[in-house]
Amino acid sequence: MNKKYLTGLFALCLLPFALCKAQVGAPYIHDPSTIAECDGKYYTFGTGGGGLISDDGWSWHSGAERPGGGAAPDVLKIGDRYLVIYGATGGGLGGGHNGRILTMWNKTLDPKSPDFKYTDAVEVCASDGMEDQDAIDPGMLLDPTTGRLWVSYGTYFGTIRLIELDPTTGFRVKGNQEKNIAIDCEATDLIWRDGWYYLLGTHGTCCDGVNSTYNIVVGRSRSVEGPYLDNVGRDMYHGGGKMVIAAGDRVCGPGHFGRTIIDEGVEIMSCHYEADFERSGRSVLGIRPLLWKNGWPVAGERFKGGTFEIESERRGYALELTVDFVRIQQERERFWQMDLSKPLVSIPDQKLEDVVGTWPQGNIPLRCGDYMFRPHQRWTITPVDEAGGYLSNPYFKITIAGTERALAATADKELTTVPQFTGAEEQLWRIEQLTDGTFRIMPKHVPGIEGTNTRLCLYSAADSTPTLAEYDFQSDNAKWNLRNH
């Protein structure tokens, strides 16, 4: 379990430089709400009033609309409506701690839709300015086990509190009393997974550009009402918390967690980075794979491409061209004849030019075999900027290292390599890190099947035989490791 996870991370750490950027477009936002999908588009709302829209999850631009101003909203689809919750105040900035949290509904998040109309906002909780509490930064959880709707809220000024709303009205449940569940954090969110409730909170310093130490921590509980304990058993009500994501990779200050489940075993977390060092230190939307390690959530690394073995999780064989194995010529020393006085020499890797002449000129099919770090097993994965993307990444091309020979999906739902990458959609690949650290690799398009493919993925039909088949998180046939070794 650990090894799988580490392999993915390890491979990524070795990349010499960033091959692809964070979310593209103009993803400038602070305190983004959990990403919501509406009619095929993605939305996130931030502090201030507006929010971002994306057609594909990768390229973001402003344009989402939320009235009421204030700070740090969250949004949740309940039935066929969207419930938006936000703090109408600013958490002590420029004023006191009289916080108010309101909810409102909309049938759509698309400001251009004729149905786009928010209901009147309703106050669901408030802090009176005199207590150790500031009612801002709400995060919602619709409990999948009970159908009950929970909200955590609060900031550093006192406690994080839990309240319950009526999921049919968005109003506070009658008679519901606030419960203190944490201190020392803000921008909290609740999630549920596999019998555990997780409270995510943002710790550290906000709003100080490249010096912001914002980071996201977590505790978990068997009951939504807590206590939320961290990995050493410390209650978040006493300041406990285990790190989910901190600075790194030229961004700092991740805050305001949101979880989006794309598919079974395919999860992402959204946040903002206080500062993107590549973009003038502006605050930007961040999307990272969400991994689960021994029952704890942890942010995966941003996948940027590189040169890898594509190793099947099924057998551990490497995806390779179906070409003749070319032996490396070696002056062999039998172990019973070793001359220990001879100096050791470094044997060079087999080079592409040593073998490429033996390969056919046209399309070459694929198989899986023992990894021997040979040219027909080494794949370069490169983002294709103009090809768009999906939540978390752009589309990639997958070519044999040093060549333009590209992995492609075929109309009979098999695989081939074409001698020259043309940009055709069946040569573009969606690569997502799964919750266990392995990867799912999907062609953008399968010839003969209309539209963008979201079902078929690179799949081990047998130990030695790769194909395309329906994604299934429960099967190792659907999973791959990307290893640079």
Partner 1 sequence: MKHKLSLSLVLGLLSVSFGKAQNPVIHDLFTADPTARVFNGKVYLYPSHDILPVEGTRPNWFCMADYHVFSSENLVDWTDHGVIVSQEQVPWGNPTGYSMWAPDCVEKGGKYYFYFPNAPKSGRGFAIGVATADQPEGPFRLESEPIKGVSGIDPCVLVDEDGQSYIYWSGMGIRGAKLKQNMKELDGELREMKMPRREGMPEMPPMLVGGEEMKGLPEGFKEGPFAFRRGNWYYLTFPWVRGSKENGANPTETLAYAMSKSPLGPWDFKGIIMAEHENHCWTNHHSLVEYQGQWYLFYHNNAYSPNDDKRRSVCIEKVTFNSDGTICEVKPTLRGVGVAPATSRIDVDRYSAISEGCTTAFNDTTATFRGWHATLPGKGSWLRFADADFSPLTDAYLVACVKANANTAFSVREKSAKGKVIARFTVTVKSEQGPFRRDMSGQWLTLTAPLEYTPKGTADLVVTCEGDAVSIDWLQFKNRPRYFTPVASDASPAKPDEQGFIRRWKLMEPIAKPIRSNIIFTNTWLRETFDEELARLPKQKAKWHTLDSENYNMKLFRFAEKYGSQTYGSLFWCETVIDCPEEMQNVRLAAGSNGASIWWLNDQEILLLEGDRRMVVDDGVSARLTLNKGRNVLRCAVINGPGLSDMCVRFLDENGKPVTNFQIPLSK
Q: Which residues contribute to the site for partner 1 (CB under 8 A)? A: 47-48, 69-71, 88-95, 98, 100, 120, 122-123, 126-132, 145-148, 156-158, 166, 173-175, 183-185, 203-205, 208, 211, 213, 234, 238-240
Instruction: Identify the three-state secondary structure at position 107.
Output: coil
Shortest Cβ 145–partner 1 spacing (Å):
8
Smaller CB separation from partner 1, 222 or 455: 222
Half-sphere exposure of 298 (CA within 13 A, CB side): 16
The DSSP output letter for 385 is G
DSSP string, 294-311: TTEEEEPPPP--EEEEEE
Shortest Cβ 104–partner 1 spacing (Å):
12
Smaller CB separation from partner 1, 227 or 289: 227
Shortest Cβ 3–partner 1 spacing (Å):
31
Residue 104's nearest CA partner among 91, 123, 90 is 123
Smaller CB separation from partner 1, 98 or 108: 98
Shortest Cβ 131–partner 1 spacing (Å):
8
Smaller CB separation from partner 1, 134 or 313: 134
Half-sphere exposure of 439 (CA within 13 A, CB side): 28
Shortest Cβ 185–partner 1 spacing (Å):
8
Shortest Cβ 109–partner 1 spacing (Å):
22
What percentage of the chain's residues is helix, strand, coil (to nearest 5)?
A: 10, 45, 50
Smaller CB separation from partner 1, 203 or 220: 203
The DSSP output letter for 456 is E
Smaller CB separation from partner 1, 102 or 284: 102
Shortest Cβ 281–partner 1 spacing (Å):
15
Shortest Cβ 282–partner 1 spacing (Å):
16
Q: Which helix (H) or strand (E) holds 9?
A: helix 2-13
Contact by Cβ (8 Å): 45, 60: no
Task: Round to whole Å and give the CA distance between 424 and 36.
Answer: 30
Burial class (CB in 10 A: 0-12, 13-18, 19+), 116: middle
Smaller CB separation from partner 1, 130 or 344: 130
Pinpoint the alpha helices (H) of 283-422. Answer: 352-355
Contact by Cβ (8 Å): 198, 297: yes
Residue 46's nearest CA partner among 69, 72, 81 is 72
Prior bond of 466 cis (ω within 30°): no
Smaller CB separation from partner 1, 59 or 231: 231
